[in-house]
Amino acid sequence: MGRNPTVYDVATHAGVSIATVSRVFSRPDTVKQETRERVQASVDALGYVPSGAARGLAARKTGVLGLFFPGLDAMDDISDVPIDGEDDDASRTTIIRDVGGVADTRPLNLYFDEVLRGSELEAWRNGFVLLVGVGRGTTSAETVREMAGRVDGLVVLAGSASEDELAQLARRIPVVVMAGARGGDTFDHVSVSNSEGMRALVGHLVDDLGVHDLVYVAGSIDSPDDAERWGGYRSALAERGMPAPDAPLLRGDFTRDGGRRVGRELLASGTLPRAVVCANDQMALGVIDAARIGGVEVPADLIVTGFDGIDAGRLSTPRLTTVKQPMELLGRAAVQLLVRRLADPTRPAGSVRLPVEVYLRESSEPA
């Protein structure tokens, strides 16, 4: 391969200054049309490709937005990738007989997938590239700091970094917090109607189905979304004169495996509640897994509900009653807030709260 053409080559070929070539790419409206066309002809003739890194340094912009999602379930399965060398023998094929087994109940990050899709779409629509970072435990804060040095703005899942850490980042780049209600901070926030959705769902169980024996399965203890959903659960019971504990008695950590564990505990107790209200769909599907294995019929013996509206709940047997949040729109709204902040850094911090829908399906009501 020959030497890649440079901006100097383009300037010489077009008979203009380097500054003019730079303006054609960065501020084309300041260059005469005739000159722009001559520079573009030289670019085409030489095969010149502008350096994104160089333009980013000059403009002090990267053209990249960041999305940080900590604690993905899939990180538990990360292992070394076996690379045997340069053997490209595509004829090696293995046939695996996989019949008569049980359903694959490994946890899937479907909530993350939907939010990521929305974030990518909105970033692309606004001319940005999306950089995604994940982390767990002590690596989370370090990952966020490293990402901040590579992006123009950062969307961070609520609870994944302390307010002090976010405040330090916000001195350098715009920060948008996703999920959970906005407190006394000065960041832009985007969230969904967690409390209202859970109140409506529990109200339906009590008022329409006559359920008075419910238990709540919480997610992660540091999740703002879970705190809001628990608050909505308690409010719905209080409005109807029904008691509720001060704190959730059961936790499944937002995973399907955690939901199966909780389900097994309930079955082992010998006394089942009439309804299990889970803080997300994956835990609810795990409870259904445990019920099926334990010979408990859903919903005849046990009503199970979730929150999120992931596709797995729509495809499960029975299909899952849930509160559906607009996950893709959540990702798009977060990036849109970030783009607005980049365009106007002095605008007041704002909050976007997206509506939810309650889907009543067979896990709470027979067909």
**DSSP string for residues in 299-355:** TTT-EEEEEE--HHHHHSSSPPEEEE--HHHHHHHHHHHHHHHHH-TTSPP-EEEE-
| Within-domain flag for 161 | yes
| Within-domain flag for 79 | no
Q: Which of 90-94, 129-133, 264-268 has the highest mean pLDDT?
A: 264-268
| Within-domain flag for 90 | no
Average pLDDT over residues 324-343: 93
Structure token digits, residue 113: 């997938």
CATH value at residue 214:
3.40.50.2300
Nearest Cα to Cα of residue 64 among 126, 115, 114: 126
pLDDT value for 118: 94
Instruction: Looking at the structure, tell me whether residues 152 and 166 fall in a common domain.
Output: yes
pLDDT band at residue 95 using 50, 70 and 90 as cut-offs: low
Share of the chain above pLDDT 70, in %: 81
Q: Are 116 and 331 in contact (CB under 8 A)?
A: yes
Please say if the pLDDT value at position 1 is more than 50: no
Tell me the angle at which helices 327-343 and 110-125 cross, rounded to the nearest 10 degrees: 40
Instruction: Looking at the structure, tell me whether residues 251 and 203 fall in a common domain.
Output: yes
36: containing domain:
7-59
pLDDT value for 305: 98
Instruction: Looking at the structure, tell me whether residues 232 and 164 fall in a common domain.
Output: no
Nearest Cα to Cα of residue 262 among 280, 235, 245: 280
| Within-domain flag for 2 | no
Instruction: Looking at the structure, tell me whether residues 299 and 340 fall in a common domain.
Output: no
In this predicted model, what pLDDT tens digit does every residue of 74-87 receive, in sequence order? 444 445 555 555 55
Instruction: Looking at the structure, tell me whether residues 251 and 266 fall in a common domain.
Output: yes
Instruction: Looking at the structure, tell me whether residues 160 and 205 fall in a common domain.
Output: no
Instruction: Looking at the structure, tell me whether residues 175 and 239 fall in a common domain.
Output: no
| Within-domain flag for 81 | no
CA angle 246, 248, 249 (to 5 degrees): 110
In this predicted model, what pLDDT tens digit does every residue of 273-315 receive, in sequence order? 999 999 999 999 999 999 999 999 999 999 999 999 999 999 9
Q: Are 125 and 336 in contact (CB under 8 A)?
A: no
Calpha distance 256→262 (Å, rounded): 10
Instruction: Looking at the structure, tell me whether residues 203 and 318 fall in a common domain.
Output: yes
Give this prediction's pTM: 0.76
In this predicted model, what pLDDT tens digit does every residue of 11-20 receive, in sequence order? 999 999 888 8
Instruction: Looking at the structure, tell me whether residues 202 and 285 fall in a common domain.
Output: yes
In this predicted model, what pLDDT tens digit does every residue of 216-258 receive, in sequence order? 999 988 888 999 999 999 999 999 999 988 999 999 989 999 9
In this predicted model, what pLDDT tens digit does every residue of 138-181 receive, in sequence order? 566 677 878 888 889 999 988 777 788 888 888 888 999 998 66
Average pLDDT over residues 88-114: 61
Instruction: Looking at the structure, tell me whether residues 215 and 243 fall in a common domain.
Output: yes
Please say if the pLDDT value at position 2 is more than 60: no
Instruction: Looking at the structure, tell me whether residues 203 and 310 fall in a common domain.
Output: yes
Instruction: Looking at the structure, tell me whether residues 188 and 201 fall in a common domain.
Output: no
Domain count, the chain: 3
pLDDT band at residue 328 using 50, 70 and 90 as cut-offs: very high
Average pLDDT over residues 33-51: 85
* DSSP tally for the chain: helices H, then strands E: 13, 12
Average pLDDT over residues 346-358: 91
pLDDT value for 51: 56
| Within-domain flag for 92 | no
pLDDT value for 13: 93
pLDDT value for 38: 92
Calpha distance 105→261 (Å, rounded): 13
| Within-domain flag for 364 | no
Please say if the pLDDT value at position 111 is more than 60: yes
Residue 22, CA atoms < 13 Å, CB-side half-sphere:
10
Q: Are 164 and 327 in contact (CB under 8 A)?
A: no
